[in-house]
Amino acid sequence: MKGQADGLENVAERPGEITQVLQRWSQGDRSAGDELMKRLYAQLRQVAQVRLSGERAGHTLQPTALVHEAYLKIVQGEAVSWQDRTHFIAVAARAMRQIIIDGGRRRQAAKRQAPESPTLLLQAMGEADQSVDLMALDQALTRLEQLDEKQARIVELKYFGGLTSDEIAAVMDISPATVHRYWRAARSWLFLELGKHSEPGGGA
């Protein structure tokens, strides 16, 4: 990616411009990737900052680095037929989730001790006072995905991607009402699951 991250700012855009840039990128125009980051950097950094704000002291990953790593992960991954801005943010959200979790696992391996996973406040889930082990959340989402892939995807998009219900509905091609219904069900399931596995002898 060209330029310094601190110099990237959202560029004023006309309706449909991001979609056009994404289409150029899908067609092999590498410069479109740099242009996209200039336009969406501020939004991506805000998402990254929120996701990292609950980590325990001592972590080294910063929002700027997380955005860069997510961008590289997308660029180096399989080709994507991009649809629009929301689709890109959704893919970036999954990349950020993987990077944060992988970083936590590397720190655990380096310390060679019992897991001390970062914690995040479940503000997006309406429980600002409740903290959750991020590794446990990732494992719970993996279990939820086996039971209901759509519910797990909604949690990922809302929590890791910061997308609104309307944006999630557009990405998943379902109604906002369905998003709300799945979100309520997923949130309830996760609270029960995380509580169960946080108890002594409550699971892996």
CA–CA separation, 16 vs 98, rounded Å? 29
Per the DSSP assignment, residues forming a β-bridge with 122 are 127
Q: What is the pLDDT of residue 201?
A: 46
Residue 44, amino acid: L
Domain boundaries, the chain: 1-116, 117-204
What are the tens digits of pLDDT across the range 167-176?
899 888 899 9
Does residue 66 or residue 117 have the better pLDDT?
Answer: 66
195 pLDDT higher than 60: yes
175: Cα within 13 Å, side-chain hemisphere: 3
Q: What is the pLDDT of residue 98?
A: 86
Average pLDDT, the chain: 77
What are the tens digits of pLDDT across the range 91-104?
888 898 888 888 77
Lowest mean pLDDT among 58-62, 66-70, 90-94, 144-148: 58-62
CA–CA separation, 33 vs 39, rounded Å? 10
Going by DSSP bridges, is the β-strand pair 119-122/127-133 parallel, antiparallel, or unpaired? antiparallel
Lowest mean pLDDT among 45-54, 83-92, 103-112, 186-195: 103-112
- For the entire predicted model, the pTM comes to 0.68
Q: What is the pLDDT of residue 174?
A: 93
Residue with tokens 């991607």: 161
What are the tens digits of pLDDT across the range 104-140?
777 666 666 555 555 554 554 555 445 566 778 888 8
For domain 117-204, the CATH architecture is Orthogonal Bundle (1.10)
- Give every CB contact of residue 39 below 8 A, 6+ residues apart in sequence: 10, 11, 13, 17, 18, 21
What are the tens digits of pLDDT across the range 3-49?
444 444 444 456 588 999 999 998 889 889 889 988 889 888 888 88
| pLDDT (mean) for 83-91 | 87
- Give every CB contact of residue 14 below 8 A, 6+ residues apart in sequence: none
